[in-house]
Amino acid sequence: MAQHTYDNDSVQELLDWAKKMIETKNYPTEKYQLNKCTTIIDGKQYLESLVAMIARNWENSTFHPIIEQLWEFREKWEDKEA
């Protein structure tokens, strides 16, 4: 997994990507296994909740694992799409 930064530009770009996925409905519609511990049951709800949490709390380092989770989802989803 790549090393990520938590600066405003990086986080906003990630949030824009997630919002675009929601708008275009390009998210998992069936059960999606993100990793060994995370199964996404509702792709839209998953993305909406991460976007809401990150948008309000991205500067708080307590929420950096949430940002990492969205990056992990993005990397896996883009690999699947390629």
Residue 1 in domain? no
C-alpha span between 61 and 55 (Å, rounded): 13
What's the pTM?
A: 0.92
Domain residues for the domain of 77 are 8-81
CA nearest 46: which of 24, 66, 16? 66
Say how many domains are in the chain.
1
Residue 2 in domain? no
C-alpha span between 21 and 47 (Å, rounded): 8
Question: Which ranges constitute the DSSP H helices of the chain?
Answer: 8-24, 43-57, 64-81
Q: What is the pLDDT along the chain (82 residues), one digit of tens a residue?
A: 568 899 999 999 999 999 999 999 999 999 999 999 999 999 999 999 999 999 999 999 999 999 999 999 999 999 987 7
Residue 55 in domain? yes
Residue 3 in domain? no
Residue 21 in domain? yes
